[in-house]
Structure 1
Amino acid sequence: MQLDHITIRTCNLPEARAFFLSVFPDLEERPRPRVIRKIPGHWLYVGSDPIVHLIGSAGGHLDRGGEAWDHIGFRLQGYAEFRKRLELLSIPYSQMDLPELDERRLFFRTPGGPVIEAVFHEPRKEEDQNEL
């Protein structure tokens, strides 16, 4: 297991983007996958890995500070086995496939509420197509 990325919610996307790009010169902004482009934000890469994700926040009453860690992502192996484990543990999850990146993702909450994203670098298999 390894840390995959951090997502930061912010009320000021341009300022957050400029901050990360100026403080960490190895970061480079690149386009995000189409499926998430409707959410305002930026992905900042080191090499081929998007390690800092910035997403816009309205700054409502739950996140008055404006900045918050939204979720943590872990890069794992064995998508099907991990998904079965979540089901056996009766942990609700949602899934997202990013075919452009040959990645599959599972999102689930900890008992206290924070979101964990499990990221698998493996394309969708033909037998998975039957789930649709």
Structure 2
Amino acid sequence: MQLDHVTIRTADIHATRAFFETVFDLTVGERPSAIRRIPGCWLYADGQPIVHIIGSRGAGFDLAAEAIDHVGFRLQGYAAFRTRLDGFAIPYSTMDLPDIGERRLFLRAPGGPLLEAVFSEAVPALPLENDHDLH
């Protein structure tokens, strides 16, 4: 199974769009004419529309809250991505899952949606405390 797309409902379409363009190198692309009445945009990676951003106000609705629990993006280059986030001063938390060989970073987009960056990388082994006492 693969992630097809995620839709993020936000009060600040511009900031959310800029965030995804900057952090994930996504590009704005075409949307079907049937949904163009809804404020928003589609963001593409490798020719596929994977993030849909829509307004939480307008086109006959007015929702107070942003909507999505979290969305996972499978990426490569854990260290480089952390450096990228640090360069943009974007706060994040980490989670290493050595039993399945994954490292994860959690960050928030403007408006609050939680994002998870998943990397299939071996988790570095931590040195054992007092390992010289194990003999």
Structure 1 length as normaliser, TM-score?
Answer: 0.45
Which protein has the larger Cα radius of gyration, Structure 1 or Structure 2? 2
